[in-house]
Homo-oligomer: A and B are copies of this chain.
Amino acid sequence: MKGWRISSFGIDQLEAFEAPEPKAGPGQVVVKIHAASLNFRDLMMVKGFYNPRMELPRIPCSDGAGEIVEVGEGVSDVKIGDRVAGIFMQRWLDGKPSAAKQKAALGGDIDGMLAEYVVLASTGVVRLPEHLSYEEAATLPCAGVTAWNAVVTKGGIEPGETVVIQGTGGVSIFALQFAKLLGARVLGTSSSDEKLERAKSLGLDAGFNYKNQGDWADWVVAETEGQGADLLVEVGGSGTFAQSLKAVRIGGAIAQIGVLSQTQEPLQIAPILRKQVRVQGIFVGSREHFVAMNRAIALSGLKPAIGSVFAFEEAKAAFQKMEGASHFGKIVLLVAN
């Protein structure tokens, strides 16, 4: 089988490799991967910024979808032919997070999905909503589950409340879609009018181009009759946390996801306490979150937003696209078919 791996850091160093097809041990399954998707984390991994001491070689990418082609001894929960995606942290099945459960993240602690065949525990995969193609389903494991956890599980948002998204990357667009699914009002920012229009076609109630219009926090406050937003989905970037604190209402929440920047902005203690804000760190989610999200996606017929699709051979170009940060929604890589 073919695959891509990190043998030394850097997009240009990504190495195409060939290897024998893997076999399923007891309790395991072999998944033939049809599509993978990229996250900012995968880019950081490839560049060596996420974990410079990562053991190499390592197959990157947490997100992939495909079909089960072999099941090991004792596997009864899934069967050959099932359409599945891997779960981000292979050991966080359920309940609250812990150090043990956060181990074994795909494409980080262990090999990821950028290969034709992948071996996982049978509990490490979830079935796909029927209406999704492999390309669409491949976008779910990291960005989808992160947004679900931020907006639904931890967000505690009620219909009629206001959610703010930042930009139009994968997590932000999923957050938009899930927030609309539960009846919230969604405000969004971008540096591109065109992307704001595209987000509006997915349900965005109002958009703000911070390139032309200035301070987006003031805009959010104005849009909410001076109250501020109920939830900010904070995906980071320089200076956004201070803006989010300005834009959040008293008693509101900030879902802190942003790996996008290691900001040097000073910690704002005063607004956190004066506004009684809850800042909730979000790090993807559990298998149970993934299953719940898929149920909602299946019921609603929601379609993930795919910004670009690359052939398997174009893996380096796909990572460069991610690096350019000009995408809308998700970047997908076709693997096999």
Binding site for B on A (CB under 8 A): 26, 93-99, 102, 152-153, 158-161, 178, 181-183, 185, 226-227, 236, 241, 250-251, 256-259, 261-283, 286, 288, 292-300
A290 CB, nearest partner CB in chain B, Å? 12
| A276:B282 contact, CB within 8 angstroms | yes
Residues of B within 8 Å of A271, CB to CB, are: 281
A165 CB, nearest partner CB in chain B, Å? 17
Residues of B within 8 Å of A298, CB to CB, are: 160
Known interface pairs A93-B95, A95-B286, A99-B226; 19 further A-B residue pairs with C-beta atoms within 8 A, sorted by A's residue number:
A94-B95, A97-B276, A98-B250, A99-B227, A159-B181, A159-B296, A160-B295, A181-B183, A182-B182, A182-B183, A241-B267, A259-B269, A259-B270, A266-B266, A267-B268, A275-B281, A276-B282, A278-B280, A278-B281
Residues of B within 8 Å of A296, CB to CB, are: 158-160, 183
| B241:A258 contact, CB within 8 angstroms | no
Chain B CB within 10 A, most for which of A95, A227, A277, A292: A95
Bound-complex Cα distance A181 to B159 (A): 7
Residue contacts A-B, CB under 8 angstroms, 7 given: A97-B251, A97-B276, A99-B227, A159-B182, A262-B269, A275-B281, A278-B280
A208 CB, nearest partner CB in chain B, Å? 18
| B292:A269 contact, CB within 8 angstroms | no
Bound-complex Cα distance A159 to B266 (A): 35
Bound-complex Cα distance A181 to B182 (A): 6
Measured CB to CB, the nearest residue on chain B to A98 is B250
Residues of B within 8 Å of A265, CB to CB, are: 266-267
